[in-house]
Amino acid sequence: MTEKEQEKLLKELLQKHKTGKLTPSERFKIPPQDMQEQDPIARRKNVNEVALGYPETNARMEALRCLQCKNAPCVKGCPVRIRIKDFIAAIVDGEYAKALAIIKENSLLPAVCGRVCPQEVQCQQTCTVGLKFKDPTKSVSIGRLERFVADLDQDNESVPAVAAETGMKVAIVGSGPGGIVAAADARRVGHDVTIFEAFHKTGGVMVYGIPEFRLPKAIVQREIDVLEEMGVEIITNFIVGRTRTIEQLMKEGGFDAVYIGVGAGLPSFMGIEGESLVGVYSANEYLTRANLMKAYDFGKGADTPIARSRKVAVVGGGNVAMDSARTAVRLGAEKVYLLYRRTEKEMPARVEEVHHAKEEGIDFHILQSPKRIIGDENSHVIAVECLKYQLGEPDDSGRRRPVPIQGSEFRIDLDTVIIAIGNIANPLIRQTTPRLEFNKWGNIVVDEKCKTSMEGVYAGGDIVLGAATVILAMGQGRIAAAAINEYLAEKKKSLAR
């Protein structure tokens, strides 16, 4: 369909919609709108964003596919309960500012979540349209629509209003998605909010972890700018636990409440032979060098080096594994293998990311995993010895357990291995905050309001949940901020008495 035909069709559909004559079966007939993407060959050589977003015509067409179900199953699928059908209705009406306002009632970072939320297992999984086609990929593309309205707003600075100063001080530890949301919500009611970030740049996993080609840094920076315009103070290079402890912040720094959103922390390794060889990276290190430190520009300005790999194996099946594999391609690797112990069906990565990885030529080796990593006389990686697996009985996670096949060893020659099998809790806060309660995995124990065992201290995101997503961290940041605001209101009242 040409652009003109598309516009004509949209006009007809809108006309019908306005008079209430657009039937569900006619809505089902509207084809799911594809989003333009950078060409797979071209994008192997750049770090620019892959998915390009909807033009207005496609966005409104896609929005018209929404049936406006009374029971709105999509909303139940959303971790922060965005009024999805209402914002989609606003898009149909061309009222984009209204659509954004509806999203922002529940989500502060729509430009981020529209890009990185796993919609296919959240709102789009429960979408009636997808269920009708028995294909979740045919659901209304809620995430793309969210991104559409969020991106339109990128130029119109909209800074949330801030209430009169309360005189209460809130410390936010970590400037990732949870910290950003908690900071904004605590600042809105008039608290004096300071974010402490360990790195020299703000944004947490959104700047060191998620690559530019999936989430441009400028989008994250804009959210940080909004916080600063609201009057939130941001202190970088400040390691809570080391520069000052949480107790010091409260006793000496005068902070009345603290939100801990420090993220996951230590990368897990497999515990196999050869994991300390030169050329073996944790995904965290590989991605941090490439993203935060811009190692892709090494020798062209950037001072942080990264392996110049020819053949790379990434171990794991999550989004971080996909990000690592796709980053390796962009850094010039000729061959990138993805080794995963289970099958594609069990992969925790988003379907879209798996699809993008395949398009970019990543070679998927499912039901395979390294048994040991082999080095040369200089301790440089030269190969991995792998085992083949088959799926057995379901395990605790409900996924079928991978069982190694005895004697199935085989060798892949390569020069770089990236381990992307998750993280364990960072011990820094635990080592330096004796009064805080942790579970046996080192995660902070909190109640349903994200309150910890220490008065005035709240926590959320990966340091509580183990491994979470941007949206879950955001959700907890919001819950914690509400609890902090409530706690401080009480505290102020009792001080006034």
The footprint of other proteins (CB under 8 A) covers 198-201, 208, 235-239, 242-244, 263, 265-267, 269, 275-279, 281-282, 284-285, 288-289, 293-294, 297-299, 301-305, 307-308, 378-380, 426-428, 431
Residue 29 or 308 with smaller CB distance to other proteins:
308
Distance CA 372, CA 434 (A): 38
**How many CB atoms neighbour CB 238 within 10 A?**
17
Measured distance CA(371)–CA(388) in Å, rounded = 10
> Looking at beta carbons only, is 52 or 235 nearer to other proteins?
235
| Segment holding 338, helix H or strand E | strand 335-340
Compute the least distance from the CB of residue 247 to other proteins, in Å. Answer: 13
Tell me how far apart the alpha carbons of residues 252 and 19 are, in angstroms, rounded to a whole number: 65
Helix (H) or strand (E) holding 324: helix 319-330
Strand partners, 438: 444
We find the least distance from the C-beta atom of residue 193 to other proteins, in angstroms, to be: 18
Q: Which two tokens stand for residue 194?
A: 């300071």
Q: Quick one: CA dihedral 30, 36, 40, 41, positive or negative?
A: positive
Give the three-state DSSP class for 474: helix
DSSP run (H or E) holding 300: none
**Rounded to the nearest whole angstrom, what is the least distance from the CB of residue 256 to other proteins in the complex?**
21
Using the minimum distance from each CB to other proteins, give the nearer residue, 138 or 244: 244
Which residue's CB is nearer to other proteins, number 254 or number 305?
305
Give the separation between CA 410 and CA 388, rounded to whole angstroms.
8
Output 30 or 262, the one with its CB closest to other proteins. Answer: 262
| 298 vs 438 by CB, closer to other proteins | 298
Tell the smallest beta-carbon distance from residue 319 to other proteins (Å).
17
* Closest approach of other proteins to the CB of residue 248, in Å: 9
Backbone Cα Rg of the chain: 24
Q: According to DSSP H, which parts of 234-305 are helical?
A: 246-251, 283-290
Q: How far is the CB of 52 from other proteins (least distance, A)?
A: 26
DSSP element (H, E) containing 208: helix 205-208
Residue 147 CA neighbour count, 13 Å, CB half: 23
Q: What is the rounded CA–CA span in Å between residue 240 and residue 229?
A: 24
Residues whose CB falls within 8 Å of the CB of residue 10, separated by 6 or more in sequence, listed in order: 57, 60, 61, 64
- Reading the block at residue 245, the tokens are 């402890």
Shortest Å, Cβ 297 to other proteins: 7
Nearer to other proteins, 119 or 194 (CB): 194
Compute the least distance from the CB of residue 302 to other proteins, in Å: 5
Nearest distance in Å: CB 305, other proteins: 4
H helix intervals, 192-233: 205-208, 217-229
| Closer residue to other proteins in complex, CB, 297/490 | 297
**Closer CB to other proteins, 299 or 398, in the complex:** 299
Contact criterion met (CB below 8 Å) for 295 and 280: no
Residues 6 or more apart whose Cβ sits within 8 Å of residue 440: none
Minimum CB–partner distance for residue 439 and other proteins (Å): 18
Strand, helix or coil for residue 286: helix
Q: How far apart are CA 31 and CA 21, in angstroms?
A: 18
Confirm if 362 and 43 have CB atoms less than 8 A apart: no
The nearer residue to other proteins, 198 or 333, going by C-beta atoms, is 198
Q: What is the rounded distance in angstroms from the CA atom of residue 134 to the CA atom of residue 164?
A: 51
Nearest distance, CB of residue 340 and other proteins, angstroms: 21
Q: Which is nearer to other proteins, 31 or 427 (CB)?
A: 427
